[in-house]
Amino acid sequence: MSVSRREFFRKSLAATGVGAGVVAATATKGTAAEQFAGYPDRYGVLVDLTLCTGCRTCEAACYAENHDKDSNRAVNNEYKGNLPKPEVPFDDVTVTHQRRRTSPGAYTVVNRYEGKGAVVQKEGIFKKLQCFHCNEPACASACLVGALRKTKEGAVVYDVDTCIGCRYCMTACPFYIPTYEYEKAFTPRVMKCTFCYHRLAEGRAPACVASCPFGVMTFGKRSELLEAAKERIARHPDRYVHHVYGEEEVGGTSWLYLSPVPFEEVGFQTNLPTVPLGEFTHTALSVVPMVVLLWPTLLGGLYALNRRRDDIAEQEKDTAVDAAVTDAVAQADAKAETKLAGALKKAEKDKEKAVKEAREEASKTTASEEESK
Ligand code: SF4
Ligand code: SF4
Ligand code: SF4
C-alpha cells in the first residue's frame, strides 16, 4: 500500500469530518495514559539504553524462540512465527551500524546511534526495536476483521487465520513495526513481535529479555516498571533524559524506554500525540464495518431496484404489444371493412351490369321474334 501514514490519517479524518473535533478534544482530554483503564495488571518491559552493548544476543534469542515450524500455533492460534534463518549471523555485530527495521525475518533488531551527548557509552548508543505493544494499538483499531488484538497480559497478538491481508495495520502503526511476507505467494502473513505471548501467558519473561547478558531489559507489571523507571531517573538525573518513552506516547505502550540522550537522537518519534491513534483509525474505519453490515441490504436494494426496472420494462413491453395488436386488429378491421365495402360495391355494379345485359338480351330476343313474324 502506497498511502503514507500522514495521508492515511488525513484522509481518515477528512472522510469522517472529525478532524477539527479530534484536535479540540485532544487538548481538553488530558493524557490518554490516565484514561486507559483496561488490564491494570498487564505486563511490560523497561529497556534501559544506557546498558545495551549491541551484542545481538536478544536477536538470536528471538530467532531461537520463534523459528520452530512445529510451534507455529503456540497459544490460542497465535503463532510464534516460523522465522527464517538470519541473513547475517547473529555474532556479526557490524550490522548494528545499519538502520535496520523489523522485517518478515526479524521481530527485533538492535541498531547503533552516535549519541554524542551521552554521559556514558562513548562508543555509541544501541537501541533494541520491536513492537511496542501499545495500550490501545492503532494496528488493531485499523484491522477490519479483528485479526490483531490486545490481550489482558499486554501483548498485541495476531491471528493469521482471520487476517485478510489488507495491511491496514501496517499503515496505521505509528512505529512502522508490522511487516508483510510479500514474497510468499500463498498464505502471506503480517509479521511482528508477539511479546512471546506463549511465554507471557505463563507469566514468563520474553525470550529476548531473559537472554540479555547485561540486564538491559526488565520484565514486570507495566505500572511497576513505570515507577521503577521514574525512580531510576530520580536517582541518576545526569544519566537519563527525564522522560520515559512509552508512558504517554499514543496513549501509552507496554514497552518503555530510558535514554541517555534526547529520544529523537536515537531514532524515536517524538512528535506523536498522547491519545491513542486508534481513536482516529477507529473513528475513520468504523464506517467500513457499517458498510459491511449494510452490504446485504444494499445488494438487496439494488436487486429490488433492478427487479422493479425489469418489471416496468416488462409491463411497458406488454402494453406496447397490446397497443400494437389493437392497432393491427383495428387496421385489419378497417381494411376488411373497406374490402367488404368494395366487394359489395363491385357486386352491386356487377349485378346492375348483369341486369342491364339481361334486359338488353331480352329486348334483342323480342325484336328478333317480331321480325320473324
Ligand atoms: S539488549 Fe542486551 S542482548 Fe540485546 S543487544 Fe543489547 S545488550 Fe545485547
Ligand atoms: S507498535 Fe505498532 S504494531 Fe505494535 S501494537 Fe503498537 S500499533 Fe500495533
Ligand atoms: S518479545 Fe519475543 S517475539 Fe518479541 S522481540 Fe522479544 S523474543 Fe522476539
* pLDDT tens digits, one per residue of 271-319: 999 988 866 555 444 444 444 434 333 333 433 444 444 454 556 555 5
Architecture of the CATH domain 5-284? 2-Layer Sandwich (3.30)
Q: Is residue 185's pLDDT more than 60?
A: yes
* Nearest ligand by distance to the CA of 170: 2
Is any atom of ligand 2 closer than 6 Å to the C-beta of 133?
yes
Stretch 39-61: mean pLDDT, rounded? 95
The grid coordinates listed for 102 are 523489523
pLDDT at position 124 over 50: yes
pLDDT of residue 350: 74
301 vs 64, more confident: 64
Return the residue whose CA atom lies nearest to atom 5 of ligand 3. 108
Over residues 243-257, the mean pLDDT reads: 97
Q: Distances from the Cα of 53 to the Cαs of 56, 323, 371, in angstroms?
A: 8, 94, 160
Structural contact between residues 139 and 130, judged by C-beta atoms closer than 8 angstroms: no
Lowest mean pLDDT among 42-46, 58-62, 182-186, 368-372: 368-372
pLDDT at 280: 59
| pLDDT confidence band for 26 (50 / 70 / 90) | very low
Decide: 192 in ligand 2 pocket, CB within 6 A: yes
Is residue 37 over pLDDT 60? yes
**Which residue did the predictor score with more confidence, 366 or 69?**
366
Expressed in angstroms and rounded, the spacing between residue 175 Cα and the centre of ligand 2 is: 7
Q: DSSP labels for 93-151?
A: GGGGGS----BTTBS-EEEEE--TT-SS-TT-EEEEE----BSS-HHHHH-TT--EEE-
Residue pair 46/218 in contact (Cβ under 8 Å)? The answer is yes
**C-alpha cell read off for 9:** 490519517
Q: How many residues does the chain have?
A: 373
Contact 59 CB / ligand 3 (< 6 Å) = no
Asked whether 57 lines ligand 3 (CB < 6 A), one says: no
Smallest CA-to-CA distance from 155 within 186, 187, 201 is with: 201
Task: Find the ligand nearest to 90 CA.
Answer: 1
Q: What number is the average pLDDT over the span 253-278?
A: 93
Nearest ligand, measured from the Cα of 124: 1
Cα–Cα distance list, 27 to 32, 122, 184, 273 (Å): 11, 40, 44, 10
Verify whether ligand 1 is closer than 6 Å to residue 52 (CB atom): yes
pLDDT band at 123 (very low <50, low <70, confident <90, very high): confident
Q: What are phi and psi of 184, to 5 degrees?
A: -90, 120
Tell me what pLDDT residue 23 has. 29
Stretch 24-42: mean pLDDT: 52
Ligand 3 midpoint to CA 66 (Å): 8
Which pLDDT score, from 0 to 100, does residue 212 have? 98
The finding on whether 193 has its CB within 6 A of some atom of ligand 3 is yes
Q: What are 186-208's pLDDT values in tens digits? A: 889 999 999 999 899 899 999 99
- For the segment 77-96, the average pLDDT, to the nearest whole number, is 82
Ligand 2 pocket mutation pick from 36, 129, 134 by most atoms within 8 angstroms of CB: 134
Mutate to test the pocket of ligand 2, among 173, 255, 285 (most ligand atoms within 8 A of CB): 173
Q: What is the amino acid identity at position 144?
A: L
CA distances for 73 relative to 80, 159, 166, angstroms: 7, 10, 22
pLDDT score of 346 = 73
Residues 35-48, mean pLDDT to the nearest whole number: 85
141: Cβ below 6 Å to ligand 3?
no
The best mutation among 66, 72, 103, 196 to test binding of ligand 3, ranked by most ligand atoms within 8 Å of the C-beta, falls on: 196
Between the CA of 55 and the centroid of ligand 1 the distance, in Å, is: 5
Tell me the H-state helices in the chain. Answer: 5-16, 19-29, 32-35, 57-66, 138-142, 168-172, 197-200, 207-211, 222-235, 278-285, 287-372
Average pLDDT over residues 165-180: 96
Neighbouring residues of 264: CB distance < 8 A, sequence distance ≥ 6: 270
The answer, as to whether pTM is greater than 0.95, is: no
CB atoms inside a 10 Å sphere around CB 97: 12
**pLDDT at residue 356, as a whole number:** 81
Question: Which residues have C-beta within 8 Å of that of residue 237, sequence separation ≥ 6?
Answer: none
pLDDT (0 to 100) of residue 309:
45
Q: Which is more confidently placed, 240 or 67? A: 240
Site to probe by mutation for ligand 2, drawn from 43, 133, 157 as the one with most ligand atoms within 8 Å of Cβ, is 133
Predicted local confidence at residue 333, as pLDDT: 57
Worst-scoring range by mean pLDDT, 46-50, 142-146, 198-202, 347-351?
347-351
- Listed by start position, the domains of the chain span 5-284, 286-373
Question: DSSP assignment of 46-104, as one string?
Answer: EEETTT-----HHHHHHHHHH--GGGSS-BTTB----PPPPSS-TT-GGGGGS----BT
pLDDT at position 187 is 82
